[in-house]
Amino acid sequence: MTTENRSTGRKPLTATIATGVALIVVALIAVAYASPYLVVNRLRDAVQARDAQMINRYVDYPALRASLKTELTQMLSRRVETQKLQHPLAALGALVGMAFVNPLVDAYATPDGVAALLAGMPPRGEPGEAPPSVIDQQSSDQVPPQPQEAPPSPASTEAQTEPRAKGDAGYRDINTFAVNYARGSGTPAYAVVFHRRGWFTWQIDAVELRS
């Protein structure tokens, strides 16, 4: 076989390898782009399955706590400023609510709180407020849960997690993804913010309360 023939034989092989590499790269880019949408779907499935461990996998709780504390404090401060002249009693209620920021943060920086956020139920800054309890709190050592006298029915669970505000999801930049919820019945507009952790993994680490 001449040198020319060997060179001609190598060209199809080289082209095949190059095409294969290009297809792999395109597939990886597509998966990386779709990854936050997949994470959102997994979280919603975890809420429906009442799977706390799966939810925990996709939440950065220390960052979420810090964000919740900042956002709730700012939200209540805006409420006080808006209401103090026209509605003194309502403003007093907002001031009282300021004292409950930390307990409210503690309530929402949990699997139940994340489930509520994803179901269109953000914190409203009211005293004694807490997200609905719909998630099975699974311990790390897998201790079997104690029998319950009256376990919640699937219908009641669905009612608790039924979205109260519609959300749309999208990128803000290459490393930031948000699910934006429009103002609903009795709920303000807000956003649940994810940030990239590696190529394909995302975690909730912030909430934006816009009222």
Average pLDDT over residues 7-35: 75
Do 83 and 94 touch, CB atoms closer than 8 A?
A: yes
Comparing 13 with 172, the larger pLDDT belongs to 172
pLDDT at residue 145 above 60? no
Mean pLDDT of 136-142: 43
Q: In the chain, where are the structural domains located?
A: 10-124+152-209
What would the pLDDT profile of 159-201 be if each residue is shown by its tens digit? Answer: 444 444 566 899 999 999 999 998 876 677 899 999 999 888 9
Q: Which two tokens stand for residue 149?
A: 């006298």
Question: What global pTM score does this model have?
Answer: 0.73
Tally Cβ neighbours within 10 Å of residue 134.
20
Task: Report the phi/psi class of residue 188: left, alpha or beta, with left for phi > 0 and alpha for psi in -120 to 50.
Answer: beta
- Sheet strands (E) in 142-187: 167-173, 176-181
